[in-house]
Amino acid sequence: MVFADLFFLYFFLPICLIMYFISKKTAYRNIVLVFFSLVFYAWGEPLCVFLLVFSAALDYTCGRIIDKHRDKLPAKLALAASLIINLGLLGYFKYSGFIVENINALLHTSIPIPKTAFPIGISFYTFQTISYTIDCYWGNVKVQKNFGKYLMYLSLFPQLVAGPIVRYSVVENEIDNRKTTLEDLSAGFSRIILGLSKKVIVANNLSTVVEALCGTAENGYAIMSGQSVAGSWLGVISVALWYYFDFSGYSDIAIGLGRIFGFKFNENFNYPFICRSITEFWQRWHISLGSFFRDYLFYLPIFGKRRQYVNLFLVWFCTGLWHGASWNFILWGLYYGLFILIEQKIGKKRMKKLPAAIAHLYTKIVIVVGFGIFYFENMGALGRFFKALVGANGGGFIDSKTKLLFMNNIWLILAAVVLSTPVIKKLKEVMNRKQGTYILANSMGVILNVALLLISSLLLVDTTNNVFLYWRF
């Protein structure tokens, strides 16, 4: 089941909300959330729901063992079991085929490639559940002694399949003590509509520009072979905007749903394209993933303090690999690791002294090229992409197809660029501060929400598949 779907919006969600709010006790509300979360996940993958429940049972048990035998051998074994089994399952379902393919290519063997169905959301809930056991071991959270409550945390449908990665410490108190105010309902529904609009109105339309200029991730080789310089840059800029509006749209819906149910999830995006350094970009983009690797991998003395740069590249290798079983993702991760290392060598003070125009030009070029690396999973297509960016593939500077696409989508692209900045947010803040405009601003907000919901719903009428991009990661 997907959020950008009329069935979810006008059937599943309303029934869930009715059942939730007619339940007066938090314990009953937790049961409602567990039931609807498992139905939500099982809707598309009925068998994989058992894997989710198994992961919940495993780490619930490991947490209890850690609590009972703190600082003793059984606690260490429980933590080790959690990490090995969870990462082992993730590795099997997500990377076994990739590993075998590369072994066959390197050693000229013919080992059968495993045909495993990839459980949606396993990358997200695996990180959530191992963060719980690590935090239990470190004493950062209290061990959950009720399996139903832990299952609710792990399976909570707003963030189950595409994040943000919600750590147990964020919702620990809200599992038993939460309430939903009128402000929560208003803010929650507004956030849901915002996220839905990002996906349906902006991201879906940007995807047509991307496919026209770059092809799909698989067939981009043929498209990029004769691409012009302008077409290549327009295409990859559209890729960057597409991924931003699609993924941040999902995060907005997840945060909005959580707010309605009384959970305050952390932000996952903070206008990343306004950054003035690559380090800042990753403090604003997919914040929950970056903070996970920072807290659970980067600061661990795996290679010692003298080899902190090895730690840095390990983190970015893992960041790339987390996104998919393909060499382009690994290259993408190391690419960002290299620029962050360069910025560390330059130093924060010197980076801040860069003129704003130069800082923005540098970061946007690095980010846009990075999205090209991320998009083209076929290494041949990736090579053609790099050539096309500098006009080394014989495609010329600009072509009639690019001109037509740009003119036909100029307002979409300009709107996407503007909306990726906090311009609207700043205008709203200014209106709310001025006397006599608060009621007007809120009234306009209600009208805008209704209009956006109506437009999004109409666009969904003839749409059969609105899967979010990060579902495949």
Which residues are catalytically annotated? Answer: 323
Q: How many other CB atoms are found less than 10 A from the CB of residue 86?
A: 23
Q: What angle do CA 82, 330, 233 make, to 5 degrees?
A: 140
- Quick one: tokens of 412? 């979409």
Could you give the CA distance from residue 65 to residue 362 in angstroms, rounded to a whole number?
50
Is the backbone peptide bond immediately before 164 cis, with ω within 30 degrees of 0?
A: yes
- Quick one: tokens of 173? 């108190």
Contacts of 181 (CB under 8 A, 6+ apart): none
Task: Provide long-range contacts, Cβ within 8 A and 24+ apart, for 406-410.
Answer: 406/234, 409/205, 409/209
Could you give the CA distance from residue 239 to residue 229 in angstroms, rounded to a whole number?
15
Q: How many other CB atoms are found less than 10 A from the CB of residue 49?
A: 19
Could you give the CA distance from residue 23 to residue 180 in angstroms, rounded to a whole number?
13
Please give the single-letter amino acid code of residue 135: D
Could you give the CA distance from residue 17 to residue 10 in angstroms, rounded to a whole number?
11
